[in-house]
Structure 1
Amino acid sequence: MTFLETILGEILQLFKREGIEANSEADIIRKLDIRQSTYHELFASKQDMVLQVVRYDIEQQNQKQKDLLKTANNPVEEIMLLLADGIKSMKEISPVYIADLQLYPEAWRASLENVTNNNQQVNAEILNRGILQGYFRRDINLQLVTKIILEQFFMMINPVVFPPDKYDLAEVFRSIYLYYVRGICTDHGGKIAEEFFAKNNL
């Protein structure tokens, strides 16, 4: 891991705990315990810093996703593992971070593009294999279902729809996705999903 990656990782954890706007650049420099000159060598501005942190987070998330999917035994488990990891991640992130991130258009756009392009593609591939192998219903519209999964995510992180001071985002995530996935499973896939719910206490 490079020095820059170490710094980006530390800032990311700070953001996920406290949000972005809770810390000025001076606060971040102090908490990182680095020289101001070092900070400005790495980042042209706070906007640039936030963008680099988001791009680093995207790389980490996508690699983690690939590693996680390798542990699954079938497409239902793949979807469920992604959902369980999503719930865990939402519990670890302050809702303030998601709200603050939207104040940085380029970083927010990079985050949404990753969700749209990477996650939608991964979900489509899993669902397609699951249909062919008999885990998901053959009558589902693959393009429509992947679109619905994506739009449900955007709905979930919309503070107007689910204000973070009123709703636990992890519980919203669980309520939206777990029951939806169970609905698109065949009887065989549904049994596997139920076993996964029970085993993982979801």
Structure 2
Amino acid sequence: MPDFTLPAASLEAAMPVFHRYGLHTATDEVLAAALHTSAAELTAQFPSRELLVHHAMLADMERQKREHRELYEQFQTAVERLYGLLQLGLRDLATVPGQFYLDLQTGFPQTWEAVMDHLNSYSAPQLQQLLNDGIRSRLFRSDINIQLVTKILIEQLNLLLNPQVFPPDRYNMREVFRSIFLYYIRGICTDEGARIAAEHFARL
């Protein structure tokens, strides 16, 4: 295991390179330039592409968690936090080419397993906790199926970004986002939650 001198935060800069050029085909020179190091130093720290991809993905997951903490400081209600999380997720997913996750799954199984673990142990429980918080604060209806709603929200994000369903040259993606999530989440809200949802979407 190499002695890492590149801070985790700087490894986040590798992700746009992988998105643009591919996990296998991004050159060490381009990656090194994005990480403000030399190709020789990069390969010394990360002798294999698998190791670099793995640690870049881990760093990106920590970036997501950091942004979520900042979001929670900005918004106090479960309704606003839920919308904010969905917007951040949409922004991130929109930057990832369709082939990326397939390449990750087939070529980097250890990293793919880490991504799935992040989804199952962090993202899904986070949504479930928000729904629970919203129910306790009487912003979400008490009769919703939390696990099912969590699954639907995640799948709706994937649906939104499917170019075969919503070609971006034919649809305004901001309007698609509003149409999918405003009406769905408003449907699981109480009257007070729906009022907050409407106010939040008015600011978008």
Alpha-carbon separation, structure 2, partners of 1:124 and 1:45: 37
Q: How far has the Cα of 1:101 moved from its partner? A: 2.5
Alpha-carbon separation, structure 2, partners of 1:80 and 1:37: 43
Q: How far has the Cα of 1:43 moved from its partner? A: 0.9
Residue 189, structure 1, aligned to residue 193, structure 2 = yes
Asked whether the equivalents of residues 160 and 166 of structure 2 are also in contact (C-alpha less than 8 Å), the reply is no
Residue 19 of structure 2 corresponds to 16
Pick one of 102, 119, 130 that aligns with 1:115.
119
Pick one of 87, 92, 96 that aligns with 2:90.
87
TM score, norm. by length of structure 2: 0.78
Residues 74 and 27 of structure 1: is their aligned pair in 2 closer, same or farther, counting only changes over 3 Å? closer
Residue 37, structure 1, aligned to residue 43, structure 2 = no
Q: How far has the Cα of 1:50 moved from its partner? A: 0.6
Residue 8 of structure 2 corresponds to 5
Aligned length: 195
- RMSD after superposition: 3.1
TM score, norm. by length of structure 1: 0.78
Alpha-carbon separation, structure 2, partners of 1:195 and 1:43: 48
Asked whether the equivalents of residues 95 and 164 of structure 1 are also in contact (C-alpha less than 8 Å), the reply is no
| Letter paired with 2:90 | I
Q: How far has the Cα of 1:176 moved from its partner? A: 4.8
Percent identity (aligned)? 30
Residues 133 and 90 of structure 1: is their aligned pair in 2 closer, same or farther, counting only changes over 3 Å? same
Residue 63, structure 1, aligned to residue 66, structure 2 = yes
Q: How far has the Cα of 1:114 moved from its partner? A: 0.8
Residue 138, structure 1, aligned to residue 157, structure 2 = no
Relative contact order: is structure 1 or structure 2 higher (C-alpha 8 Å, sep ≥ 6)?
Answer: 1
Moved more, 104-113 or 90-99: 90-99
